[in-house]
Chain A
Amino acid sequence: MIDILKNRILKGIVTRQIEPELAQEIEAVGAELRSLIQQRFGRSLHLREVDTGSCAACESEIIAANNPIYDLQRFGINFTASPRHADALLVTGPVSKNMLAALKKTYAAMPEPKFVVTCGDCALDGGSFKDSYYVEGGVKKILPVVLHIPGCPPSPLVIIKTLLAFLVA
């Protein structure tokens, strides 16, 4: 316990310490985002993530967006364990044939109103794998996608910024 307290006090709030320029940017983006989300989604926006065959780098970056440095949650964006609680679906991967049914079912399980966001180059059109025999090649052929977050993988900052730009528009 003493180690936890010691580190808690010594480390302080890491959210802005790692890279000062970066932290300012995150803050500015985030403050705007928070007020928007409060207006439009009744205080918080809940996302459900579905991996349709990504290489796990996108997942790693989405998780990183939730770490204490970027701390997406403080702006009112949460990741939920169930599609039943989700406002939006965040899809990664080029949609492997094996994941097609699961993706559709997850979308169907979400309550209205709902929207779909894709994350990473694979999810846009299949990326490196678009010519494969086992890939549907992009989420937009299957579900109505309203926003794409580009990158291979998109960095946490890009994820936060792209979400903001979309919610502002």
Chain B
Amino acid sequence: MDIPTVIARIRNNFPEFSELASAQNYADELNIKVSPQDFKHTCLALHKILPSPVMMLFAQDERAGEGIFRINSVFVDFKNKEWVMVSMDIPPENPCFDSLAKSIYSASLFEREIWEMFGVEPKGHPDLRRLRLHDEVWPKGNYPLRKDFQKVEPGDLSDYKFSRVEGEGIFEVPVGPVHAGIIGPGHFRFSVAGEPIISLETRLGFSHRGVEKIFEGKSCLEAVRISECVSGDASFAHSLAFTQAAEKIFGIQIPAAAAYSRAIFLELERMYNHVNDLGGIALDAGFSFPAAYASVIKEVILQLNARLSGSRYLRKINAIGGISIGLDETKKQMLLSSLKELKRDFKELVKILYSSVSFMDRIDTTGVLRKKTAEDLGVTGLVARASGIPTDLRKYFPGVYKEAKFRMAIQESGDVLARLRVRIFEFEESCRLIEEFSGKLIKGEEIKVNAELKGGSALGYTEGWRGPVLYWLKTDTRGLVTRCKIVDPSFLNWQGLSYAVLGNIIPDFPLCNKSFDLSYSGNDL
């Protein structure tokens, strides 16, 4: 859809609409600028006509140059393979805007984030508790993502208020942030009536490291390395989304061989994480043999990663303009022969899981996330596909996936079993894709990086193993990062978990949690 068509469609839905400016900066990005009065209704219209959840909603502090705060809202248009970004400028004297949260649920968390990080208030938001800057340790009135933030000023501390379920026989069970297993930190507050969970409130932010602020002022080369540490088990997807954004700004076309190599590494990352989760789900159901079996497969993939790239977690591969290591003929043969063994072992693993009646009984109809709930929450990625929502960036923004005839996994039931099945399908599909891609690697093509550093902004996106990883990047004229907004799929999907566990018993929580397997660090930033 080109800009006039989009505007005509918005006007159909919202007759008073008038844009201040509009531009198509890249083939896959439309930017529309509106006044603060029109912002809310424009977003509602796009939400309805595309239809798309709010994929990103974030602020920029442009007070130094333009004297305003800017709020941007990003929607995805799968049908026309493009992203639509709506922006508005807010005067700094009275920084506030009309909240979207009551009309579009997926905007809710983003608005809370804008409030705590920038002090720009979403007026009418039903819940403005802070997500990451915990009230117990961070004084009120400090907004760290404002450009003039130097250091934290003393101020009032307070306590976090959990939403309370009250009544006869209701018990509260607090868990975390330090858990029994070797996992990230998060706090879960269960309210139970007898066995079943009637409410789960997740309090996260324990891994908050101020990542977005760390990006600012860094050169893109340095920033790629930081993006690898945003969520360690999705290092490659994160660095890929970042480099894509940078490449768009600098106008770099990557060589074909690099595109195939990137796709191979992206699929390898998906494979080791999916098999890890199959093992994790089995372990949390008390089925330890396949769990050990899966951990061996995962280790084999990690060692394969190390032999291919020098890094078990696929770090230091992505560079602006391509990849820093090449896949030569010996590496290709190693990859293909390992794949053969992996496929065989994986088949055995699946057979063991499927042939255990008690295991299947445990995961069938456990932790159901219904399609309607998932849509309303704006859940993305793997979890959405298991609930019957056809969403996968590899399908709608295919690139090299097009010629490989990518097949998207989809399940309807939305339970732990459905998420298990999506993973199994995707693992096998990844094997097939890697075989396809490795056949296309052209020998001896050099990767040359002659980036002309310049200012601009762009959206980078890729389908990581959890779902879409989005990076919105803005650079100044020297090519230094001035704002980098990161959205890991976990950010929206954590909400889904709170609904999936309702009616289940607490002992099934680890099972549900593992079937989502969301990132703490990617969410907390």
Interface of A with B (CB < 8 Å)?
A: 1, 3-4, 7-8, 11, 14, 18-19, 49-64, 67-69, 79, 81-83, 93-94, 96-102, 106, 122, 127-129, 131-135, 152-153, 155
Contacts and interface: CB of A to CB of B under 8 A. Distances in A.
Nearest to B521: A55
A135 to B, nearest CB: 6
Given A54-B232, A55-B231, A69 B299 contact: yes
Q: Which 9 A-B pairs have the closest CB atoms?
A: A57-B232, A55-B232, A81-B180, A132-B210, A67-B295, A53-B207, A134-B210, A56-B232, A129-B209
Contacts of B206: 53, 96, 98-99, 102
A116 to B, nearest CB: 14
B151 A133 contact: yes
Contacts of A50: 178
B351 interface: yes
A63 B182 contact: yes
B303 A54 contact: no
B119 to A, nearest CB: 15
A141 B178 CA distance: 20
B210 A133 contact: yes
Contacts of A128: 214, 225-226, 229
Contacts of B14: none
Contact of B183 (A7, A52, A53, A59): A59
Given A56-B521, A83-B178, A98-B132, 12 more contacts: A51-B183, A54-B207, A56-B233, A67-B299, A97-B137, A98-B185, A101-B136, A101-B137, A106-B178, A133-B149, A134-B209, A153-B232
B289 A54 contact: no
A106 B298 CA distance: 31
Contacts of A14: 296
B95 interface: no
6 contacts: A14-B296, A54-B184, A60-B233, A61-B312, A96-B209, A99-B177
Interface string B222-263: 000110011111010000000000000000000000000000
B171 to A, nearest CB: 21
A42 to B, nearest CB: 23
A157 to B, nearest CB: 11
Contacts of B313: 57, 60, 153
A129 B214 contact: yes
Interface residues of B, number: 57
Contacts of B226: 128
A53 to B, nearest CB: 4
A57 B233 contact: yes
Contact of B292 (A18, A54, A67): A67
B177 A133 contact: no
A94 B209 contact: yes
A162 to B, nearest CB: 17
Contacts of B151: 133
A163 B180 CA distance: 22
Most buried by A among B207, B210, B302, B315: B207
Contact of B185 (A60, A99, A127): A99
A154 to B, nearest CB: 10
Contacts of A152: 229, 315
A77 to B, nearest CB: 13
B355 interface: yes
A59 to B, nearest CB: 5
Nearest to B279: A67
A169 B204 CA distance: 40
B63 interface: no
B293 to A, nearest CB: 7
B1 interface: no
A68 B295 contact: yes
B170 interface: no
Given A53-B521, A98-B205, A132 B235 contact: no
B522 to A, nearest CB: 8
B207 A96 contact: yes
Contacts of A94: 209
A153 B313 CA distance: 9
B209 A56 contact: no
B138 interface: yes
B293 A7 contact: yes
B134 interface: yes
Contacts of A57: 229, 232-233, 235, 313
B184 A134 contact: no
A25 B233 CA distance: 27
Nearest to A79: B182
B296 A7 contact: no
B494 to A, nearest CB: 15
Contacts of A8: 289
B208 interface: yes
Nearest to B183: A59
A29 B284 CA distance: 31
A100 B137 contact: yes
B360 interface: no
B182 A49 contact: yes
B232 A134 contact: no
Interface in B269-328: 276, 289, 292-293, 295-296, 298-300, 302-303, 312-313, 315
Nearest to A97: B137
Given A56-B521, A69-B299, A51 B184 contact: yes
A56 B348 CA distance: 28
A73 to B, nearest CB: 12
B295 to A, nearest CB: 4
Contacts of A133: 144, 149, 151-152, 210, 213
A132 B149 CA distance: 12
A52 B185 CA distance: 7
B348 A3 contact: yes
A97 B390 CA distance: 39
A129 B226 CA distance: 9
Contacts of B447: none
Given A55-B230, A57-B235, A18 B299 contact: yes
A82 B179 CA distance: 9
B210 A51 contact: no
